[in-house]
Structure 1
């Protein structure tokens, strides 16, 4: 097999290091399994989640508009063993870049803890899963992830931070194709003209531009269970007010924890349909949910804690639009919990059929979010225990 040598190393590594307790035993910091978070309840209670037959169950656990993202479910496993030798033009076996550019589906896991500092954008091919469970994996200190004209990608369990612009360089995007890349924005994850993408249980902060940007007609996206902190322009949904292909965009933002030091764009939406459901907002400096160009925003079961400043209590902000324009936009709040003076300015028709296109999953009561979202971000999963 093409990746047999890395699989053998991985298996030996975990046989030697697996705890000698019963495989059904739980670590000291036990937690209840069935919390009501449908994604986590799908796989986290199995202490054998790390087995090759079980890891791919994750691909069937997504909810929302990105629920059909298969990632590398139907392919082989690939083990990243080399975090240091990143070559944007001629990547070598064992590196993350070598895996993500391959034509065939791959489920990508990691030999152990590692920090990967990329020399240029990490361009994906379609049908890939990055699964960081069981290791502490960071992508940091250089250009980060770009999904451009691809489909069926899952990114799970990666700490992405301090991302920088790249470009003005040749970068390979498949085994048979590489080309010139202009200067990139320095996003943590840039999703460009792509579909069926699921970003789950990642931790993101301190990037040059956005943490996660979804643009140029991308659709069928779920962003879930992530922890985001210490950043200005957090998430941009839609390229520009004039880019009409984004009218078909559908994005679910669910079960995320928006933590300290966030300023705005949590998210900022253009055109399209956005289901913002069961997220916990611990504050914002300018606004939480904003938009322009008449997006449909369906805010359900979120937990908003306004900052102490009297000038930033409002959750929402309409951008580049007069009231006589935005009052027709369909923005509604259903079951949201507003604390410390937070308030949501609704508009449009509360019962518009547009909300059907902006509804992707059942909303849990906002009062439960301190339980449902407590483990947002990268999980500390140990081999042989429930995660």
Structure 2
């Protein structure tokens, strides 16, 4: 896959049992989601999408507690609203991604996921009520305060902020740590070629 475009009501793209999904441009998708269950999402380019990425089958499907997903070096661009990603159960490493647009929030969760955010660049929208990177769904503070969500080395611009919870100790994030994060100051360079390669038949990419 190089390009994925849909129109109208949108469709589900499900990734099950795949090791990786990389160098794809996702655009003009309106209401449905990319659903990933296990693996690596790397160097993708996302634009014009409401519910961008849903990680997990359902909040009641507890077999997903062993899920481990890394997404690295992705660009989240114009026209994105929410779920970059939304995580249910499992362990998620969000590393060196460039978040330049969101309208509601960037990263969400609903069933005690472990989220390790490292070396990302978060540029908040102008809307003063949408500056928060994170969102917890279907849980009160007394519940989600125990969820392990941390931010390390992230760059927050235009008032963006990440609400941490649970433990900040490294041992709690061992299964949500898959590669070493680079400095957030390098994110623009790292993600500058995210998306499909500009390849032509008979020539090197």
TM-score bracket for the superposition, by shorter chain length: over 0.9
Selected match of 1:195 from 6, 12, 17: 17
Please give the secondary structure, in 1, of the residue aligned with 2:19. Answer: strand
Q: Structure 1: which 4+ aligned runs deviate by more than 4 Å?
A: none
**Is the 1:224–1:255 contact (alpha carbons within 8 Å) kept by the matching residues of 2?**
yes
- Deviations 1:278-325 (Å, cap 9, x if unpaired)? 000002100000001100000000000000110000000011110011
Question: How far apart in 1 are the matches of 2:177 and 2:5?
Answer: 31
**Is the 2:30–2:50 contact (alpha carbons within 8 Å) kept by the matching residues of 1?**
no
Aligned-pair CA distance for 1:209: 4.0
TM-score, structure 2 length as denominator?
0.94
Instruction: Name the counterpart of 1:321.
Output: 139
Please give the secondary structure, in 1, of the residue aligned with 2:35. Answer: strand
Distance change in 2, residues 1:163/1:273 (3 Å): farther
- Deviations 1:220-246 (Å, cap 9, x if unpaired)? x10110000001000000122111011
Selected match of 2:28 from 194, 203, 206: 206
Instruction: Name the counterpart of 1:162.
Output: 6
Question: How far apart in 1 are the matches of 2:144 and 2:174?
Answer: 20
- Deviations 1:106-127 (Å, cap 9, x if unpaired)? xxxxxxxxxxxxxxxxxxxxxx
Is 1:278 the equivalent of 2:122? Answer: no
Instruction: Name the counterpart of 1:241.
Output: 59
Aligned-pair CA distance for 1:210: 3.3
Instruction: Name the counterpart of 2:165.
Output: 347
- Deviations 1:222-280 (Å, cap 9, x if unpaired)? 01100000010000001221110110111011000000000000000011000000000
Q: Unaligned regions of 5+ residues in structure 1, if any?
A: 1-154, 166-184
**Is the 2:73–2:98 contact (alpha carbons within 8 Å) kept by the matching residues of 1?**
yes
**Is the 2:30–2:48 contact (alpha carbons within 8 Å) kept by the matching residues of 1?**
no
Please give the secondary structure, in 1, of the residue aligned with 2:185. Answer: helix
Q: Unaligned regions of 5+ residues in structure 2, if any?
A: none
Aligned-pair CA distance for 1:197: 2.4
Instruction: Name the counterpart of 1:250.
Output: 68
| Structure number with bigger Rg | 1
Flag the structure with higher helix content. 1
TM-score, structure 1 length as denominator?
0.51
Alignment of 1:51-200 (within 5 A): 155=1, 158-162=2-6, 186-187=11-12, 189-191=13-15, 194-200=16-22
RMSD: 1.6
Please give the secondary structure, in 1, of the residue aligned with 2:84. Answer: coil
Aligned-pair CA distance for 1:211: 4.2
Q: Relative contact order, CA 8 A, sep 6+: which one is greater?
A: 2
